[in-house]
Structure 1
Amino acid sequence: MSRYPDSVDVAIVGSGPAGATYARILTEEAPGVTVAMFEVGPTVSDPPGAHVRNIDDAEARAEAQRRSEGPGAGAATVSSPGAVKSGERRARAGTYLLPDGFQADGEDGMPVAAFSSNVGGMAAHWTGACPRPLGSERIPFLPDLDELLDEGDRLLGVTTDAFDAAPFTALVRERLAAAVDEGRVDETRVQRMPLAVHRRDDGRLVWSGSDVVLGDVTRGNPSFSLFDESLVMRVLIEDGRAVGVAVRDLRSGETHEVRARRVVVAADALRTPQVLWASGVRPAALGRMLNDQTQVVYGARLRDVEPPAEDQLPASGALSEQSGVSWVPFTDALPFHGQVMQLDASPVPLADDDPVVPGSIVGLGLFCAKDLQWDDRVEFSDTERDSYGMPAMRLHYTLTDRDRAVLDRAQEEIVAMARAVGEPIGDRPFTMPLGASLHYQGTTRMGEADDGLSVCSPDSEVWGVRGLSVAGNGLIPTATACNPTLTSVALAVRGARRLARELAYVENRHYDVGTKQKESRRTP
């Protein structure tokens, strides 16, 4: 027997923060609506979708990361011993690389384009940074963007005070501010990084994953079901409307159809357009305007500080709270955004010190906004298949002259920042291979009108296909430098509210019609 229902009200493809947002909002605003969520990867944490950093045992944490790496499990990662070296093609722990098709002849490509396959998606492995878009990063046709971002903060559990007690955090911000704050307005000055992290009553930090977005209210909803190791191969389309999904049970190998009144595809910015392509949904803008953020990193040893005493260090590789995480916001004049964090909070090793004294080295990272180009895209094959049996993808991606100029400026700025903070490590900063940010955007971009330049409406419904919505970083239509998760959750809030209104209206209409029919039958 199939472990899947025959039909539901809403089928959600993908269990990352955007998909989890749909499940949460529907639970809160349309109680009784049945929701089934499908995830290609396994459950690797408890509760499902929790951040692996919350796993105390180092071996158990490493095993959760390995199980998230899908067909790439076992390959060397940037968490392997030693600092990252130029030219190396490694994925972060918990992710796996696109094996081929990542670079076309004569193009820059994305050599380290990567995925994760697990309940919670990338949010089981991310840094938790949730800065707000500023200036030209903002989506101009969404008048309610700030309220949506507020709701995103609530769902992700965003705080700004998690590291206030860390002994070096104020010092790092003070030194950074002296180097970069001149001429900036309040909202773009150096400040605490908004983080999806909270502190428990016992004082321990807990990093948010999709589990926090879902919350107890969704997990306790009898109308919500989560199915892991379930590959959605295509959306079922009939008469221009989404009516369900075809899903392969990776445990049994069998394929089943689950009917649905609404379908939300929230895989990621590369696999969401892949599912649409496989479903025959192929608008002109699908996969176009692929947008990554070039990432420059550098390390610095803090000056004039004492390392923590041995008895102050946490066990099992947990985070030593010394320097916290600081934010250098994006501006249109300097189109990059900065994260400054202690080395053991960074996903990318920056020094070969053995051992690295926790809190004594900070990592600096600048993410550069990218020129949007129609020909930067992900393409899919009608004949070749990937390791999951889905249409194989190929990336086309090229930096413009302006992109290279912004990158050069970011390298200059990060050197100045490193010198302000402490003693730079190495002769020059390191530019990560393209794709390393994991902040892929634009491939299912949102638009104000169905003009052929976007895939979905401001409410996230795919143009020309009723009942089909998309979610995730791929919707973001602007060139951004800030981490995109908060924005994509905000957009998912907007789309989920629309679904909740529609489904509630249909339910109420059915109830009203049924009541009137009963009354008419009672009338002589």
Structure 2
Amino acid sequence: MTRTFPDAVDVAVVGSGPCGAAYARVLSELCPAAAVAVFEAGPLLADPPGTHVKNIVDPAERARAQRRSEGPAPLAAGTATDTMDGYADDAPRLVRPGTFLLADGYRQPGEDGLPGAAMSSNVGGMGAHWTGACPRPGGSERIAFLPDLDTLLAEAERLLHVDARAFDDAPFADEVRKRLAAALDEGRDDDRLVAPMPLAVVRHDDGRVTWSGSDVVFGEETRANPHCTLVPEALVTEVIVADGRASGVRVRDLPTGEEHVVHARFVVVAADALRTPQLLWASGVRPHALGRYLNDQPQTVFAVRLRDVVDAPEEQDGPRDEPAIVPHSGVNWVPYTDDEPFHGQVMQLDASPVPLAPDDVPAPGSIVGLGWFCAKDVRESDRVEFDESATDPYGMPAMRLHYRLTERDHASIEAARAAVRRAAAALGDPLGEEPLTFPPGASLHYQGTVRMGETDDGTSVCSPTSQVWDVEGLYVAGNGVIPTATACNPTLTSVALAVGGARDIAAKLTAVRN
């Protein structure tokens, strides 16, 4: 951590979420002598930098961290900070603690828009607030032109500390999985059967389980690297490009308003799927595909109470708002297949998402939330555009989202609703009459806006190593790089692609030094 802005570095990284952290980590491991600076527009929330807010023990400090993540206009102090509050909310613009919605521009006349589009500004990015789900993509979700995809995914699992067995002792988890498998496994390949959800978590020697944030991705390898620095509240307003090559960044020190130019041999923009194309556009880097192919994952949720189970003993020692992941937070996974193009995330909840009778206290693990995600019908016309004159609260070009759900999307959503009903029926008694389909954008899984391509044919922004076409030394990272229509949680894939980009930079730095 520093408030000193270097004059020059080998690699400037914009954004401290899991993908920006992956670049810093891989470069610290492969090129420990390289100077790396990570710039983050948001504030530091906790130590170590990038800590998941659920790991902050003090409730007041946790709430303060969430409010500080909510950009220029945080929610009111009394607003709920429990991420499960509003799980079954049918609000047209769903607000989650630690995130902030686009104030305007999220829908154009006659279009569906992305009313749920939201971001976080803090060290650790959305990785300080996420659910930790790290399933591998399957079928058409996979990026066919990357022969080393599985190797990269394995490395991403290492960096995120992915564990599929962390909740083996969760009450009823085996029973939930058994019932889902009986209802859904028929006809599936072995790697697409109902299974425990791979989660980015750390199980400690004392039995505690905590969420992985960017702190875990940074790791001691990065924190102990004297050549790697992290500068919070530092807004990068421009990538400096000269003669077809990135040569540095222009950074605004938000506490003072002072601007600094930091020269760099390589620049990595790892903001998010909306702000990464925003920065490129503001920097005059505007390939045809920039901001296009924007896609989200339509999301349908439901909840049930397990039937015919004997209450398990209470295994949680502290109050229910403690940050550690407790044993009755079991999570199961219904993988995506091309025949069933949905991804199911089945969570055993600490409490019911809908009101129960005052004297009705469910057994831990007996309330199950089901979330089904659909793959979007990806189209070039779904895009984020930027205003030539208007600006957002950070002074960057204002966003204008163009987004429509196609007939194919509506059919997919209806099929997912039917699938979640089937899964619910296999588990227990519904809590509520019908599944709830969230407004577009509510999944927070935006992708495609700086998408990767096999060749520079105008339909992609970057190469298979994440370098922007025709701009030497400029790399992009994050969910926006994913070029396929996915339904599974995207973080593992985006971190895997970041690993590939970081290795490419490391190879170039090593070649020059040798």
Quote how far apart the aligned CAs of 1:281 are: 0.3
Look up the match of 1:153.
Answer: 157
SS at match of 2:388: strand
Cα-to-partner distance string for 1:163-217 (whole Å, 9 max, x where unaligned): 0011211010001111111111111110010000121000000110111111001
2:218 equivalent among 214, 220, 230: 214
Quote how far apart the aligned CAs of 1:304 are: 2.6
Taking the aligned partners of 2:498 and 2:84, their CA distance within structure 1 comes to 35
User: 1:232, 1:248 within 8 Å by CA — same for their partners in 2?
Assistant: yes
Look up the match of 1:449.
Answer: 455
Uncovered stretches (5+) of structure 1, i.e. residues with no partner: 509-524
1:328 equivalent among 315, 320, 334: 334
Matches within 5 A, 1:225-304: 225-304=229-308
SS at match of 1:32: coil
SS at match of 2:431: strand
Matches within 5 A, 1:326-365: 326-344=332-350, 350-353=353-356, 357=362, 358-365=364-371
Look up the match of 1:522.
Answer: none
Taking the aligned partners of 2:154 and 2:85, their CA distance within structure 1 comes to 40
One-letter amino acid matched to 2:127: A
1:471 equivalent among 471, 477, 498: 477
SS at match of 2:435: strand
Look up the match of 2:443.
Answer: 437
One-letter amino acid matched to 1:3: T
One-letter amino acid matched to 2:231: F
Cα-to-partner distance string for 1:210-238 (whole Å, 9 max, x where unaligned): 11111001000000000000000010111
Quote how far apart the aligned CAs of 1:323 are: 5.1
Quote the sequence identity (%): 62
Question: Is 1:184 matched up with 2:188?
Answer: yes
Against the structure 1 CA distance between its residues 257 and 312, is the aligned structure 2 distance closer, same or farther, given a 3 Å change threshold? Answer: closer
Taking the aligned partners of 1:287 and 1:91, their CA distance within structure 2 comes to 24
Taking the aligned partners of 1:447 and 1:313, their CA distance within structure 2 comes to 50
SS at match of 1:427: coil
Quote how far apart the aligned CAs of 1:82 are: 5.8
Taking the aligned partners of 1:68 and 1:12, their CA distance within structure 2 comes to 20
One-letter amino acid matched to 2:106: F
Moved more, 86-95 or 327-336: 86-95
Look up the match of 2:414.
Answer: 408
User: 2:170, 2:365 within 8 Å by CA — same for their partners in 1?
Assistant: no
Against the structure 1 CA distance between its residues 125 and 79, is the aligned structure 2 distance closer, same or farther, given a 3 Å change threshold? Answer: closer
Cα-to-partner distance string for 1:296-329 (whole Å, 9 max, x where unaligned): 0000011133445567453251344225000000
Q: Output the aligned Cα RMSD.
A: 1.7
Instruction: With the length of structure 2 as denominator, give the TM-score of the two structures.
Output: 0.95
Taking the aligned partners of 1:365 and 1:126, their CA distance within structure 2 comes to 15
How many residue pairs match? The answer is 505
One-letter amino acid matched to 1:368: C
Look up the match of 2:95.
Answer: 91
Taking the aligned partners of 2:227 and 2:480, their CA distance within structure 1 comes to 28
User: 1:2, 1:256 within 8 Å by CA — same for their partners in 2?
Assistant: no
Uncovered stretches (5+) of structure 2, i.e. residues with no partner: none
Taking the aligned partners of 2:15 and 2:494, their CA distance within structure 1 comes to 14
Look up the match of 1:69.
Answer: 70
Instruction: With the length of structure 1 as denominator, give the TM-score of the two structures.
Output: 0.93
User: 1:112, 1:433 within 8 Å by CA — same for their partners in 2?
Assistant: yes
Taking the aligned partners of 2:373 and 2:416, their CA distance within structure 1 comes to 8
Taking the aligned partners of 2:225 and 2:83, their CA distance within structure 1 comes to 38
Cα-to-partner distance string for 1:132-156 (whole Å, 9 max, x where unaligned): 0100000010000000000010010
Quote how far apart the aligned CAs of 1:53 are: 1.1
SS at match of 2:455: coil
Against the structure 1 CA distance between its residues 356 and 380, is the aligned structure 2 distance closer, same or farther, given a 3 Å change threshold? Answer: farther
Look up the match of 2:60.
Answer: 59
Taking the aligned partners of 1:83 and 1:45, their CA distance within structure 2 comes to 26
Look up the match of 1:488.
Answer: 494
User: 1:83, 1:352 within 8 Å by CA — same for their partners in 2?
Assistant: no
Taking the aligned partners of 1:185 and 1:153, their CA distance within structure 2 comes to 22
1:418 equivalent among 406, 415, 424: 424
User: 1:376, 1:396 within 8 Å by CA — same for their partners in 2?
Assistant: yes
Question: Is 1:370 matched up with 2:376?
Answer: yes
Taking the aligned partners of 1:73 and 1:266, their CA distance within structure 2 comes to 23
One-letter amino acid matched to 1:12: V
Higher Cα radius of gyration: 1
Taking the aligned partners of 2:73 and 2:409, their CA distance within structure 1 comes to 31
Moved more, 306-315 or 104-113: 306-315
SS at match of 1:465: coil
Quote how far apart the aligned CAs of 1:359 are: 2.1
Look up the match of 2:29.
Answer: 28
Q: Which has the higher helix share?
A: 1
User: 1:313, 1:320 within 8 Å by CA — same for their partners in 2?
Assistant: no
User: 1:314, 1:320 within 8 Å by CA — same for their partners in 2?
Assistant: no
User: 1:159, 1:196 within 8 Å by CA — same for their partners in 2?
Assistant: yes
One-letter amino acid matched to 2:239: V
Against the structure 1 CA distance between its residues 342 and 314, is the aligned structure 2 distance closer, same or farther, given a 3 Å change threshold? Answer: farther
2:179 equivalent among 169, 175, 178: 175
Question: Is 1:131 matched up with 2:135?
Answer: yes
SS at match of 2:132: coil
Cα-to-partner distance string for 1:67-86 (whole Å, 9 max, x where unaligned): 11112311556848666432
Moved more, 414-423 or 277-286: 414-423
Taking the aligned partners of 2:83 and 2:51, their CA distance within structure 1 comes to 20
One-letter amino acid matched to 2:218: L
Question: Is 1:461 matched up with 2:467?
Answer: yes
Look up the match of 2:512.
Answer: 506
Quote how far apart the aligned CAs of 1:247 are: 0.4
Taking the aligned partners of 1:460 and 1:471, their CA distance within structure 2 comes to 7
